[in-house]
Structure 1
């Protein structure tokens, strides 16, 4: 026998999530315009239902990883291992896994670097259709697969306004792909601020780094350009 719902039960409305594509991100950005990264991080972790971190372990990325794992030690950390990292980067990652106790989720392309090099002749020239295909194959596809599997509402990242022209026009809270809200707690910092954070917290850094999908420091690899 099915029991009917009384009026008070029928009128219950599920609480509205803080982070969704209809959220007033302009209000969030205004509210946290002068906030410390730790304050932004604390608010985000408290309000997010399923946050994830994306990192490539580039120079100074350790500062962001330290900041976020202090707020939420078990936050899923997505890393796309495209297979072209330097030996120093791989050793750096192993150190940080142990030191920060990272909850690391590693995603790799469906085609290994050796396979790609053998079939396509290595990393293509920048700003060519071949390089676009390369970026989609070794970085964007694994990243999208990770987001589809983990289904986050918040994508935490370490981007800053001073890194390139595209990022200068973003903000702390922006709409990301896969229905996420991107949150960049360190967005308003400058490089020297992050360097000081690394020094003050005695964190190991990665100085020998290479991203084949960017090639040059000022270029975007494509993750932030996806809709």
Structure 2
């Protein structure tokens, strides 16, 4: 159930700050040494319609904890591709209860069972078949969510140390669907996030599988869309 908006939400009558033509290099320089909570608060205060995207992967709970402490009712987009582990589904149900997540779950138009029956399961990486698979089970539902919610800001938990592509990004970058992507934890490393999870005694999801990535260092495609 959606929760009542906090007073941090930007007024609909105020000229929006986050636009594709904004000065992102200056904004990144301004916040380069700031805490994730400060970046998050600034973003929430100036966004017209922010959303969160998460896949509930290991350590994602830190980002969700951070953002919902500032804006508890923020829409949280999750693409349920149908290949999640039982542990992931149980983890999600726990966080819905513990954090009061305003969850928007989107599923592919073709279920995992249907896809497996027609196409023979998850295809090999780096093939046209796998590109089609990724578009079907993740990109299409994600794009549908963004079209439905029409956000100006897409908050996410990516970090610079996760892979080569993300290392070349920054806190504030241009995202798909006309959004500005904001990654408040971008300059943290994995140990920083692990320490946050331990310090806050947060439940984590240790048994996770993303069929669109296959390998930890790969991108699933969401950050590559224009």
TM > 0.5 between the two?
yes
Bigger radius of gyration: 1
Instruction: Please give the secondary structure, in 1, of the residue aligned with 2:177.
Output: coil
| Cα displacement (A) at 1:17 | 1.4
In 2: Cα distance, 1:41 partner to 1:16 partner: 19
| Cα displacement (A) at 1:48 | 0.2
| Cα displacement (A) at 1:37 | 0.1
In 2: Cα distance, 1:203 partner to 1:16 partner: 37
- Answering whether residue 128 of structure 2 is matched by residue 133 of structure 1, we say no
TM-score normalised per structure 1: 0.93
Number of the residue aligned with 2:96 = 97
- Which aligned segments of 4 or more residues in structure 1 are displaced greater than 3 angstroms? none
Gaps of 5+ in 1: 1-13
| Cα displacement (A) at 1:15 | 4.9
Number of the residue aligned with 1:185 = 184
**1:23-46 per-position Cα deviation (integer Å, ceiling 9, x unaligned):** 111111000010000000000000
- Answering whether residue 98 of structure 2 is matched by residue 119 of structure 1, we say no
Number of the residue aligned with 1:10 = none
Number of the residue aligned with 2:166 = 167
Instruction: Please give the secondary structure, in 2, of the residue aligned with 1:178.
Output: helix
In 2: Cα distance, 1:211 partner to 1:15 partner: 39
| Cα displacement (A) at 1:100 | 0.5
Number of the residue aligned with 1:73 = 72
Instruction: Please give the secondary structure, in 2, of the residue aligned with 1:174.
Output: strand
- Over the aligned positions, Cα root-mean-square deviation in angstroms equals 0.7
Instruction: Please give the secondary structure, in 1, of the residue aligned with 2:220.
Output: coil
In 2: Cα distance, 1:16 partner to 1:92 partner: 39
Number of the residue aligned with 1:57 = 56
**1:103-154 per-position Cα deviation (integer Å, ceiling 9, x unaligned):** 0000000000000000000000000000000000000000000000000000
